[in-house]
Structure 1
Amino acid sequence: MNPNPKLHAWIAMCGYCSRREAERLMLEGSVKLNGRVIKNVAERIHPGKDKVMVRGKLLSSQQAHEYWALNKPTGVVSTVNDPDGKPTVMRYIQSKARLFPVGRLDEDSEGLLFLTNDGDFAYTLTHPKHGIAKVYEVFIKGTLSNTQLRILREGVPLKDGVTQPAEVSILNHEQGNTHLQFVLHEGRHRQIRRMCANQNIEIYTLKRVSIGSVSLGSLAIGRVRPLSSEEVTALLSEA
């Protein structure tokens, strides 16, 4: 790591929030460096010398990192707080650390989601350049045509560009409907739902079953478990 990291990266490393959220806090004027409000997201600091405050709280990088896996239920949003009062993933974990979700899993979807206070870990797992594989099981109405399956695999034209090639396979058929498996290496907002909508495919359920080498296993819906040090190391090595 650079001995003089960027301020937003250091805030994330302290476990206060993600890098993206730290940038937002800087732009809104909530971050002070040695008593001065800093809005320049390129600002660098001298750890151990400079004093950083976020919303009046003095930060320190000397804290233990925590890593948790949650089997997120549907009807729950993947944020720390929700302005509309919707239930968030934070209701399922008891910790004194300032945790935040790693990436997103939309409200209508369920499955594996990580929570941590390690900003570098979150950055590594969510940045597109690292391409961590995420596996989803999707139950759709009816069956797929060969053309639909080919387009899902090769790339779907969306408003934010054509999707990267995806591994899409048919797991089984049930009462005229179809179970699919998607393996994605990018993480666009509601990507699978938008891919399917583009091809007029109706989704009944969507569940994320693994991220990198970590899978849901027997973790029940609404339950959490700590990630082992071996799992954390393996995830970082896959980036």
Structure 2
Amino acid sequence: MASASRDGTPGRRREGGNPRSSDSNNARGKASGKGAASRGAAGKKGAFAGKRGKPGAPGQHPSSRKPHRKGSSHVDVESGKIRLNNSKPARNQIANGEGEGATYVADGMRLQKVLAAAGVASRRGAEELIAAGRVEVDGEIVLEQGLRINPDTAIIKVDGARVVIDETKQYLALNKPKGLHSTMSDEQLRPSVGDLVAERVMAGQRLFHVGRLDADTEGLLLLTNDGELAHRLMHPSFEVPKTYLATVRGEVHRGLGRVLREGVELDDGPVRIDKFALLEVHQGESLVRLTLHEGRKRVVRRLLAEVGFPVIRLVRTDIGPVALGKQRPGSIRVLDNREIGALYKAVGM
């Protein structure tokens, strides 16, 4: 059985070839029966030797990287045994995955994240499935957390059925220019976000924007067809922070940050910011940066106007872990795996 250390590096495999049979129940029996005994003996000399700093078996990949996640050794195995498997099995089940076993890929994606992206379970749920011996990679059951794999080439099975890696999901970052409305189509035929992604929509991609920016506000807007992620990013209970650069009329004093952090009463309730920085004061105007997790309509403009500094220009630069950077106005870029994974982590997926 494959055993991976906390940094995702595989340990020593058992002698005797592929432990996986075609019967998924039999495989789980091995995980809880004979496999458990062999893990107790071989695991101490192989996979777990690296954790104590002792040399492992030949073929191991020692690593000094930070452990996968604090507390991952306390994954609930019993919950994993009864957890529902929400994956959609692949139509083509010809590939049996009987190869050389799970292969560690240094820059790959952690197995639990791959399973979460495929809709099998949440990331925590995927960890429970792994711990319960229900997940197989390239013909080998993986029991330890954090194994890094190449999701494009690895054959992954849960309960004996091959898992579909959903390649239809889209995650895009748009730098919305001023004057563009945050709608996919506008009844009054005004310029909208939908105009920038018209070709993608015509090609069959169903995209929608995560949150809104008013027409006068520029900056980062996320586009996706991942409904669950979009819902969580917009829901106030997940408190995903958003950062803005605001040019305001008037010379801001440094005490304004304290006022905004303590809270300001608006007509629809109080608003508090998380962070504030005064960046520049010049000729009766000020440039400030503020971070908050509010999502109410025009909340930044209303907040600054309420304290006496009306907004001249407003740009959203960050949504959670995703930053606008040097992306030019009107351009769209595809989020990389690191950014997508960070968004999932930010909303507990």
The one-letter amino acid of 1:237's match is K
Q: 1:100, 1:117 within 8 Å by CA — same for their partners in 2?
A: yes
Over 3 Å counting, the alpha-carbon distance change for 1:2 and 1:151 in structure 2 is farther
More strand as a share of residues = 1
Aligned letter for 1:157? Answer: E
Match of residue 163, structure 1, among 271, 293, 297: 271
- Aligned twin of 2:310: 202
1:119 aligns with one of 222, 227, 236: 227
1:135–1:211 contact (8 Å) kept in structure 2: yes
Write the distance in 2 (CA, Å) between the matches of 1:147 and 1:2: 53
Q: Structure 2: how far apart are the matches of 1:158 and 1:85?
A: 32
User: Which residue in the other structure is 1:141 paired with?
Assistant: 249
**Alignment match of 1:187 (pick from 270, 275, 295):** 295
Please give the alpha-carbon distance, in whole angstroms, between the structure 2 residues aligned to 1:204 and 1:172.
Answer: 14
Which deviates more, 64-73 or 194-203? 194-203
Q: Contact between 1:155 and 1:166, CA under 8 Å: does it hold in 2?
A: no
Answer yes or no: is the 8 Å Cα contact 2:242–2:319 preserved in 1: yes
Q: What letter corresponds to residue 209 of structure 1 in structure 2?
A: T
1:202 is displaced (CA, Å) by 1.7
Amino acid at match of 1:182: L
Which structure has the larger Rg over C-alpha atoms?
A: 2
Give structure 1 regions of 4+ aligned residues with deviation exceeding 6 angstroms: 1-4
- Alignment check: 8 A CA contact 1:99 1:117 kept: yes
- Displacement of 1:188 in angstroms is 1.2
How many residue pairs align between the two structures? 182
Letter in 2 for 1:231: E
Post-superposition Cα deviations, 1:39-75, rounded to whole Å, max 9, x if no partner, equal xxxxxxxxxxxxxxxxxxxxxxx77111110000010
Counterpart residue identity of residue 320, structure 2: G
- State the TM-score, normalizing by the size of structure 2: 0.49
CA shift, 1:146, in A, is 5.5
1:79-123 per-residue CA deviation (whole Å, 9 max, x = no partner) reads 112222211112222313011111001110000000111111101
* Structure 2 counterpart SS, 1:91: helix
Give the one of 329, 341, 345 matched to 1:221.
329
Q: 1:55 matched to which residue of 2?
A: none
Q: How does 1:37-116 map to 2 (within 5 A)?
A: 64-93=168-197, 94-95=199-200, 96=203, 97-116=205-224
Query: Residues 165 and 137 of structure 1: is their aligned pair in 2 closer, same or farther, counting only changes over 3 Å?
Result: closer
**Identity between Structure 1 and Structure 2 (%):** 40
User: What is residue 34 of structure 1 aligned with on the other side?
Assistant: none
Q: Deviations over 1:180-215 (max 9, x none)?
A: 001012211111001012122121100001111111
Corresponding position: 1:150 with 2:258: yes
2:247 counterpart SS class: strand
SS of 1:122's partner is: helix
CA deviations 1:23-45 (Å, max 9, x no partner) are xxxxxxxxxxxxxxxxxxxxxxx
Following superposition, the deviation at residue 165 of structure 1 comes to: 3.6
Matched-pair contact (CA < 8 Å) for 2:252–2:278: no
Give the alignment's TM-score, normalised by structure 1. Answer: 0.71
Structure 1 residues without counterparts, runs of 5 or longer: 5-61
CA RMSD between the two structures: 2.1
Secondary structure (helix, strand or coil) at the match of 1:187 reads coil
DSSP-derived class of the 1:151 partner: helix
Equivalent-residue separation in structure 1 for 2:268 and 2:258 (angstroms): 20
Give the deviation of 1:237 after TM superposition: 0.3
Map Cα deviations across residues 147-195 of structure 1 (whole Å, 9 max, x no partner).
6443222211012210134312101112231100010122111110010
- Once the 2 structures are TM-superposed, how far is the Cα of residue 144 of structure 1 from its aligned partner? 2.1
